Amino acid sequence: MWTLAFCTVNALGYDCKTLPSVARIWKFNVCRFWLQKRVLNLVLEGGEVMWWGTPQHVSSRRAEAAEAERMAAAVPSLGPTPMDLDVKQTGSAENLSTGRLRSLLASKECCDLVFVAGDEHIEAHAVVLAASSSSFYNFLRRNPALGKAAPTEGSDEMQELFSMQTVPVPPETGGEAPEPAAEPVAPVAPEKPTETKPETEAAPSQAPIELSKPADAAKAEMRIHVNGLSSEALHVMLDYIYNGCGGASWQYAATNAQVNKDVLRLARNFGFGRLHEHAARWLGTGLTTENVLERLVTCEEFGLGLLREKITERLALRPAELMQVCSSPEITKHPRILQDLLVQVATLRDRPPPESDVQRPEAKESEEKPDKEKPDKPDKPEKADKPEKEKPEKPEKPEKPEKPEKPEKHKVSKADKLAKQEKPQTDKQSAKRRKAGA
């Protein structure tokens, strides 16, 4: 501190040696007080950076302020232009509700409905089934224990599959059996018309009797006996309902054809179109010569005409498998299916086989014997004649005038040419003889 005071006094331009002793001491104390106050203000208020560095709490405060300014600049300001906030979705309410319903079904809590399929008892919630299917809701309203009037229409198909029975719940073993309610006593008519006390006293005695009916109905357990359906098909349908009627996590799983047939019947009566579609798609998987007839019968029973047509078309493309199916004794029980197969054979006879089919042994033998004539290739369809384009008529050119005929030149024969060649030779010989004579 003394060093700072000395440096400050020198910086102000005061020379301590030139001042008197009293003034020098006073000036030094004033400078020291001013310097201490200035240093405290800088340290506490976070002022300018001192020569010995910035305090740690001041630098952290400045960093926080800079970070706050940067975040404020990054956030778009609210103005006339709309903006969207990126909010992550934790989960839909539908998924949460279906998950809770599945947990209640697994723990068998709050179950008030029991399906009896053979020796197996399957518990469920009546309100969940009634909310998912209107036909089952109408079927439940036929139960007199619910205290509601039965509907005039609907629920006739449900009567073929289910039969309802109301079973009262037995009383607890630890408590005493409830005493039967006393029969109401008819009030005696008073002698004087002014007295009305007996009538007012008899009315409260009838109230507990009327209120006891819903309580007995709530304690009763509804049992539904399943007629001609497997328990596995019921499990498949309940799994479909408690997963939000075929949610993303649900998968259709039928172990055999009979279970799939029962699921088709349940889906049709409950009105579950998506479940019916999954069961219909199952019929088109894993087709063999052993089960194709059973699949065709199921398609005919449930009115799956398009799927039945596709199966017969695929079977008609393979004559060997088709003959095996047609020769089975069970097909005689279904003449309509046999008729459709024969019609498909007649319509697809002229079509070429698919490329995926394996070559038959007869075709291989014909390739090994070159002496035999190869079958003629099918004639290619004639191309349709293209319409002739009408060309614009060109203007006729004027006829050129005929050229005058040139006079015919006299043709020189070969004899004349030889005669001309012999004449100069004779002339040369005569000239040589004359020279020799001279």
Question: How does pLDDT run across 84-109, given as a tens digit for each residue?
Answer: 766 665 555 556 678 888 889 889 88
The pLDDT of residue 83: 67
Is 427 a residue whose pLDDT tops 90? no
Range 340-366 average pLDDT: 62
Task: Return the minimum-mean-pLDDT range out of 157-171, 287-301, 356-370, 412-426.
Answer: 356-370
pLDDT at 318 > cutoff 70: yes
In which residue ranges of the chain is CATH 3.30.710.10 found? 95-167+215-253
For residue 130, pLDDT beyond 80: yes
Q: Label residue 303 by pLDDT band (50, 70, 90).
A: very high
* Percentage with pLDDT > 90 across the chain: 22
pLDDT exceeds 60 at position 217: no
Average pLDDT over residues 305-322: 89
Band the pLDDT of 266: cuts 50, 70, 90.
very high
Q: Is the pLDDT of residue 72 over 60?
A: yes
**Predicted local distance difference test score (pLDDT) of residue 193:** 43
pLDDT number for residue 205: 40
What is the pLDDT, as a whole number, of residue 302?
A: 94
Q: Which of 206-210, 226-230, 377-381 has the highest mean pLDDT?
A: 226-230
Tell me the average pLDDT across 152-178: 64
If pLDDT is split at 50, 70 and 90, which confidence band does 61 have?
A: confident
Q: Which residues pair with 226 in a beta bridge?
A: 162
Q: Is the pLDDT of residue 333 over 80?
A: yes
pLDDT of residue 229: 92
pLDDT at 141: 86
> Please, what is the Cα angle at 307 between 305 and 308, to 5 degrees?
65
- The pLDDT score that the predictor gives to residue 189 is 47
pLDDT bin (cut points 50, 70, 90) of residue 343 is confident
Residue 244: predicted pLDDT: 80
Of 118-122, 295-299, 416-420, the range with the lowest mean pLDDT is 416-420
pLDDT band at 181 (very low <50, low <70, confident <90, very high): very low
Q: Please tell us whether the domain made up of 95-167+215-253 is placed in CATH 3.30.710.10.
A: yes
Looking at the predicted structure, is the pLDDT value of residue 215 above 50? no
The stretch 77-89 carries a mean pLDDT of 68
Q: Is a pLDDT exceeding 70 seen at residue 111?
A: yes
Tokens of 333: 């029980």
